[in-house]
Structure 1
Amino acid sequence: MSDGSEREKMLAGADYDAGDAELLALRQRARRLCQRLNALDPADTATQQALTAELLGVDSSDAFITPPFFCDYGLHLKLGARAYFNAGCTVLDVAPVTIGEHVLIGPAVQIYTALHPLDARRRRAGVESGAPVAIGDDVWIGGAAVICPGVTIGAGAVIGAGSVVTRDVPPGVFAAGNPCRVIRRLGDASA
């Protein structure tokens, strides 16, 4: 990756050209790996762990992704120890997605970092940007929740099923709704 590459711009949150050849090749790589992962026999956990490690670019032997799973790149997704994705999740990782330890992500959860311009001319030109998502340790995200670009979810938080998280969620709370809002504080966030 050279100085000022489209990938560097993308990861920095700057405007970038989504049609760049390097980015196209990396997305195709991720799609092929996801396709292989999603077609595996559920009992073939060794191959599943190997494919997950290849997709993420790191050893992920203590994290688990239940297929089907979809992502843009995989290489920008960092999973903490014993992080778990249930079936049907999608991660649009044009910006870094950092998931802490012991995080439970319910089925059909969507995590988005991709942003598109409001101006139609810029969208037609293929201009995109992104904002990172960070999920702290011991978070539980209920099924079908949507995590929007730029959001941080604090350690020990619980996100209700079907929520649309558009802004940061503090640690140790139960938050739910569309848009997601804090409903109440929980007990000890580390428990």
Structure 2
Amino acid sequence: MNDNKTELQKMLDGELYVAGDQQLVDMRDNARVLLSRYNQMMAEPLEKKNEVLKKLLGKCSTIDIQPPFFCDYGTHIIAGENFFMNFNCVILDCALVTIGNNVMCGPYVQIYTAYHPLAAEERIKGPELAAPITIGDNVWLGGGAIICPGVTIGSNTTIGAGSVVTKDIPAGVFAAGNPCRVIRTI
């Protein structure tokens, strides 16, 4: 482990990091300002809302995220073409979140890259962890689905409403439940 790494570098590399680091706090504060502006734009045209989203998100193209929307940084979200996210969704992007083309999310979808050590004695010390999430092309995430750290969801897959995805889900399936499991091939 390199002690010369910034907390941002540690966070993105999946190492223990201190979320209270000033650089990370400043980045989150910047995201909060943009999110506050965005979440007040419910009745504004999509083009006007996307001007704010393009400042917030790391890389995006044709997207439609219904406010209110919440994220940690925004800059660690890469969204493909035709990305749609319904109301009240959350992306904790402490690690890279890669979203493919033609992905649709129901309301209250939660995508969490952040997590904490399992051992209480480590957890109470404060440092956190993050693991990247990858969502393939043509994926549908049903309302209220929760995507946990480190998960990959294959292309052409549907995740049922209310599912908690704790492990990778292959391409071309319908998966649902808590924990989420493959129900059938599509």
Smaller-chain TM-score bracket: over 0.9
Letter paired with 1:132 = P
Residue of structure 2 equivalent to 1:56:
57
CA contact (8 A) 1:157 1:173 kept: yes
Q: 1:19–1:126: 8 Å Cα contact kept in structure 2?
A: no
> Taking structure 1 as reference, are residues 175 and 41 closer, same or farther at Cα in structure 2, changes over 3 Å only?
closer
Matched, 1:67 2:67: yes
Q: Which amino acid aligns with 2:160?
A: G
Residue of structure 1 equivalent to 2:106: 106
CA RMSD of aligned residues (A): 1.1
Partner residue, 2:80: 80
Letter in 2 for 1:93: D
Question: Structure 2: how far apart are the matches of 1:172 and 1:103?
Answer: 14
- Secondary structure of the residue that 1:51 maps to in structure 2? helix
Match of 2:115 in 1: 115
Structure 2 CA distance, aligned partners of 1:14 and 1:39? 35
Alignment of 1:18-29 (within 5 A): 18-29=19-30
Separation of aligned partners in 1, 2:110 and 2:162: 10
CA distance in 1, matches of 2:51, 2:91: 19
Letter in 2 for 1:11: L
CA–CA distance in structure 1, aligned partners of residues 8 and 162 of structure 2: 32
Aligned with 1:127: secondary structure?
Answer: coil
- State the shift of 1:23 in Å: 0.3
| Unaligned ranges ≥5, structure 2 | none
Identity of aligned residues (%): 53
CA contact (8 A) 1:87 1:108 kept: yes
Paired residue type of 1:15:
L
How far residue 61 of structure 1 moved from its aligned partner, in angstroms, is 4.4
Query: In structure 2, how many angstroms separate the alpha carbons of the residues matched to 1:32 and 1:166?
Result: 31
| Residue 92 of structure 1 pairs with residue 109 of structure 2 | no
Please name the residue that 1:16 is paired with. Answer: 17
Structure 1 residue 122 displacement after superposition: 2.7
Letter in 2 for 1:172: G
Structure 1 residue runs without a partner (length 5+)? 187-191
The CA distance in 1 between the partners of 2:52 and 2:125, in whole Å, is: 34
Assess if the C-alpha contact under 8 Å between 2:114 and 2:129 holds in 1.
Answer: yes
Counterpart-to-counterpart distance in 2, 1:24 and 1:43: 29
